[in-house]
């Protein structure tokens, strides 16, 4: 789509001495192909899933799930059901990921099953809106928790939280551009930190239960909501906290032994997160009534103030760690989607280039970070969550449907993991419910705007991707070459 580019070249020969030195250096350290390297093992894969799933959601979403479900009992059931749904969806993605061992997640699977137009519309919506808005939401949550202790008794100024969120984006993008291993180490550290605070809350909740603090858990189903749409919105907010169960599919090409490590990481990570979420919610209700949960600006912080005093400061500190780790995981995966889409020609080619020295998709990571910055400027977290959830479940449903379709159209593909087709059908039905229920219950213009935006991608697809108009290539060619020189990136090679 962009025409010519500067490829990785070989150094010229400057005499026998330099040739001899070069030969010795090459013998000592073989030159890597300029492709994404297989640097992500099982532990890092588990940490990527857990670290991205456990972000701000469990500390923000509990009151929203309670609000729409109406009572403690259905609230806990919805948290458990969301865990089951995420597990079943991840198993479907495990089949897809071991059948089609390409990075890019849903994009690669939609391409194989439905062709380039559907895949392009997904990449258009995800790269331009879904991934950067998710990154923005998480960094804003990080900034709110990080600044709250400095503004006791009042809400932190919006300009302060947005500036801090921007700084977080810059740091995270920089780390991910420098090294895949460094980004993995950061992810592993912050995952350990968030599991520590989850463990502390759960243990405190168990102790309080054994002491008889069960009043808020009795008559747990009084006031249960019977609204079809309200239950859908409760699932929306619960599933927002679980989002990230599919992150490993975006980095399939960077996994060590994906056939083993992808399903194993899923089997370990998602049940672990599901149990943590249910137990954390039970812990909240041991010290707070439903009214107090709904009125609390930060449920986890209120819990810490009542249970961990005078060490209550550890809760907001570790929530900051948790949200920062989730933002790192979101950036890690979001950049890979832009990289794969650019490699396929559905985005500008520069996004598919790799750092010559660091073997990271730095242009795609930087592009994702820049878009996230623009979403921070007018950001409203609740509005972004609704917008994000509506669109993302459209594509989750289509991706799971692609598994069913390829059972009939691509029978020749090897399937190391094969889930019962009934599970895939259940996920498709649930996706339809999560998309349609809130729209039917409370139709709002934002859903229409979302649909219009997704299909507006066709206005760019036909001239620039399908026809590949020559004037666009003439414009992009010098821009691509200058960006290559500036960022020291080259087109990916094929590893021999």
- Please measure the distance between the N-terminal and C-terminal CA atoms of the chain and give it in whole angstroms: 25
Q: What is the pLDDT of residue 11?
A: 44
- In the chain, how many domains are there? 1
Mean pLDDT of 160-173: 94
Q: What is the pLDDT of residue 22?
A: 42
Nearest-angstrom CA–CA distance, 169 and 140:
10
The label of the residue with tokens 């989850």 reads 198
Query: Within a domain: residue 14?
Result: no
Q: What is the pLDDT of residue 401?
A: 95
Closest CA relative to residue 116, chosen from 345, 321, 389, 333 = 345
pTM score of the predicted model = 0.85
Q: Write the CATH number for 117.
A: 1.20.1740.10
Closest CA relative to residue 58, chosen from 202, 204, 162 = 202
Residue 105 CB contacts under 8 Å (≥ 6 apart), including other chains: 93, 246, 249, 250, 333, 336, 337, 399
The label of the residue with tokens 């029978």 reads 411
Residue 490 phi/psi, 5° resolution? -140, 160
For residue 234, the enclosing domain spans: 42-490
Instruction: Please say whether the beta carbons of 142 and 330 come within 8 A.
Output: no
Mean pLDDT of 6-29: 47
Nearest-angstrom CA–CA distance, 474 and 476:
6
Sign of CA dihedral 117, 122, 125, 126: negative
Q: What DSSP letter does each residue of 93-119 carry, written as one string?
A: HHHHHHHS--SSTHHHHHHHHH-HHHH
Mean pLDDT of 427-441: 83
Residue 23 — pLDDT band, cuts 50, 70, 90? very low
pLDDT in tens, 63-89: 888 888 888 889 899 999 999 999 999
Over 80: is that where the pLDDT of 56 sits?
Answer: no
Query: Within a domain: residue 415?
Result: yes
Query: Within a domain: residue 330?
Result: yes
pLDDT in tens, 232-283: 778 877 887 888 888 889 988 889 888 999 999 999 999 999 999 999 999 9
Instruction: Please say whether the beta carbons of 338 and 351 come within 8 A.
Output: yes
Query: Within a domain: residue 30?
Result: no
Q: What is the pLDDT of residue 60?
A: 63
How many Cα atoms are found within 13 Å in the side-chain-facing hemisphere of 70?
12
Q: What is the pLDDT of residue 31?
A: 58
Query: Within a domain: residue 456?
Result: yes
Instruction: Please say whether the beta carbons of 300 and 59 come within 8 A.
Output: yes
Q: What is the mean pLDDT of the chain?
A: 85
Q: What is the pLDDT of residue 27?
A: 45
Over 80: is that where the pLDDT of 307 sits?
Answer: yes
Mean pLDDT of 13-41: 56
Query: Within a domain: residue 220?
Result: yes
Query: Within a domain: residue 8?
Result: no
Q: What is the pLDDT of residue 291?
A: 87
Q: What is the pLDDT of residue 7?
A: 56
Closest CA relative to residue 363, chosen from 493, 488, 185 = 488
Q: What separation in angstroms does the CA of 322 have from each of 19, 59, 279, 383, 436?
A: 51, 10, 17, 22, 32
Query: Within a domain: residue 126?
Result: yes
Q: What is the pLDDT of residue 186?
A: 92
Over 60: is that where the pLDDT of 433 sits?
Answer: yes
| Distance, CA of 84 to chain centre | 19
Q: What is the pLDDT of residue 202?
A: 93
Instruction: Please say whether the beta carbons of 125 and 454 come within 8 A.
Output: yes
User: Which residues, listed in sequence order, are joined to residue 489 by a DSSP beta bridge?
Assistant: 355
Instruction: Please say whether the beta carbons of 385 and 68 come within 8 A.
Output: no
Helices vs strands, H then E, count in the chain: 20, 2
Mean pLDDT of 312-335: 88
Residue 373 CB contacts under 8 Å (≥ 6 apart), including other chains: 136, 166, 169
Structure tokens at 492: 């990916």
Between CA 83 and CA 330, with CA 124 as vertex, the angle to 5 degrees is 40
Q: What is the pLDDT of residue 225?
A: 73
Lowest mean pLDDT among 35-49, 124-138, 373-387: 373-387
User: Which residues, listed in sequence order, are joined to residue 40 by a DSSP beta bridge?
Assistant: 255
Residue 1 — pLDDT band, cuts 50, 70, 90? low
pLDDT in tens, 349-371: 999 999 988 889 999 999 999 99
Residue 71 phi/psi, 5° resolution? -160, 165
Q: What is the pLDDT of residue 110?
A: 95
């Amino acid at each position: 789509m962009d025409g010519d580019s500067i490829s990785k070249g070989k150094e010229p020969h400057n005499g026998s001495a330099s040739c001899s030195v070069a030969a010795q250096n090459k013998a000592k350290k073989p030159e890597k192909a300029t492709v994404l390297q297989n640097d992500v093992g099982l532990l890092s894969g588990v940490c990527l899933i857990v670290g991205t799933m456990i972000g701000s959601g469990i500390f923000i979403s509990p009151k929203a799930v309670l609000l729409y479900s109406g009572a403690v009992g259905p609230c806990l059931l919805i948290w458990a059901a969301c865990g089951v749904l995420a597990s079943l969806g991840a198993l479907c993605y495990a089949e897809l990921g071991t059948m089609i061992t390409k990075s890019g997640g849903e994009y690669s699977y939609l391409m194989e099953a439905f062709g380039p137009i559907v895949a392009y519309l997904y990449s258009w919506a995800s790269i331009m809106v879904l991934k950067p808005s998710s990154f923005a939401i998480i960094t804003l949550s990080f900034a709110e928790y990080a600044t709250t202790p400095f503004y006791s008794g009042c809400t932190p100024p919006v300009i302060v939280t947005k500036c801090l969120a921007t700084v977080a984006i810059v740091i995270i993008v920089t780390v991910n551009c420098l090294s895949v291993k460094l980004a993995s180490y950061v992810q592993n550290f912050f995952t350990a930190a968030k599991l520590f605070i989850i463990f502390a809350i759960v243990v405190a909740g168990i102790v309080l239960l054994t002491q008889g603090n069960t009043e808020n858990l009795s008559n747990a189903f009084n006031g249960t909501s019977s609204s079809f749409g309200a239950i859908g919105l409760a699932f929306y907010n619960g599933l927002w906290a679980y989002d990230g169960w599919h992150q490993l599919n975006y980095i399939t090409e960077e996994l060590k032994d994906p056939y083993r490590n992808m399903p194993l990481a899923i089997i370990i990570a998602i049940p672990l997160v599901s149990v943590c979420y249910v137990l954390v919610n039970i812990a909240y209700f041991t010290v707070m009534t439903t009214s107090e949960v709904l009125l609390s600006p930060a449920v986890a912080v209120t819990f810490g103030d009542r249970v961990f005093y005078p060490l209550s400061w550890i809760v907001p500190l570790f929530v900051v760690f948790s949200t920062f780790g989730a933002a790192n995981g979101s950036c890690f995966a979001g950049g890979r989607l832009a990289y794969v889409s650019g490699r396929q020609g559905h985005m500008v080619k520069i996004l598919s280039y790799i750092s010559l020295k660091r073997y990271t998709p730095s242009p795609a990571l930087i592009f994702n970070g820049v878009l996230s910055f623009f979403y921070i400027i007018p950001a409203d977290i609740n509005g972004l969550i609704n917008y994000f959830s509506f669109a993302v479940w459209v594509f989750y449903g289509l991706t799971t449907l692609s598994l069913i379709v390829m059972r009939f159209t691509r029978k020749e593909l090897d399937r190391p993991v094969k889930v019962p087709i009934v599970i895939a059908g259940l996920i498709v039905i649930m996706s339809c419910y999560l998309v349609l229920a809130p729209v039917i219950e409370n139709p709002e213009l934002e859903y229409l705007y979302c649909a219009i935006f997704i299909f507006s991608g066709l206005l760019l697809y036909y001239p620039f991707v399908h026809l590949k108009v020559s004037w666009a290539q003439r414009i992009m060619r010098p821009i691509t070459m200058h960006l290559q020189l500036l960022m020291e990136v080259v087109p990916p090679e094929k590893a021999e």
